[in-house]
Amino acid sequence: MSKPQFSMRPATVADVPTILELIKALATYERAPDEVVATEAGLAQVLFGKKPAAEVLLAFENERAVGFALFFHNFSTWLGRPGLYLEDLFVRPEDRGKGYGRALLVELAKIARDRGCGRLEWAVLDWNEPAIKFYRKLGAKPMHEWTVFRLTGDEIGQLADSSN
């Protein structure tokens, strides 16, 4: 039997169904399968419309999608430079241990370097020990002094409608 062929490439609008499938697989892994409300039409618009909000790298074993990285630019005021924020990195559980996650991160590091980014950063769930070990092995450091805050739908609306 021949060795599986690994490849990776930027996603195109034709890949939206695959992207949504991988997002749903990630949500299942993160114990929140019912929280995905993304749709193919919505993803096509925000990823490939007039003003794309993010980019996606897809990883393949032969012709089968095995993982993805979804990322976008952020900005460091202290560095005065853009950064890359990795929103999601996912490799299907059955395809882990083959170097695909590392390959996606290496490609993101190349993109960050080539675009003059001062940082490549992401968040990880506290309970996801395999991911934390994986990231530490790559040389990534946790930011212990920082806490992530978030507003969502209703909270965004309430704040937006509040008086100064």
Residues in contact with 156: Cβ distance below 8 Å, sequence separation at least 6, in sequence order: none
The alpha carbon of residue 15 and the mean position of all alpha carbons in its chain are separated, in whole angstroms, by 15
Catalytic residues: 135
What span, in angstroms and rounded, lies between the C-alpha atoms of 5 and 71? 24
Specify whether the CB–CB gap between 87 and 54 falls below 8 A. Answer: yes
Task: Give 140-149 contacts, CB < 8 A, sequence gap 24+.
Answer: 148/123
**Which CB contacts under 8 angstroms, 24+ apart, belong to 46-52?**
47/11, 47/13, 47/16, 47/19, 48/12, 48/13, 48/16
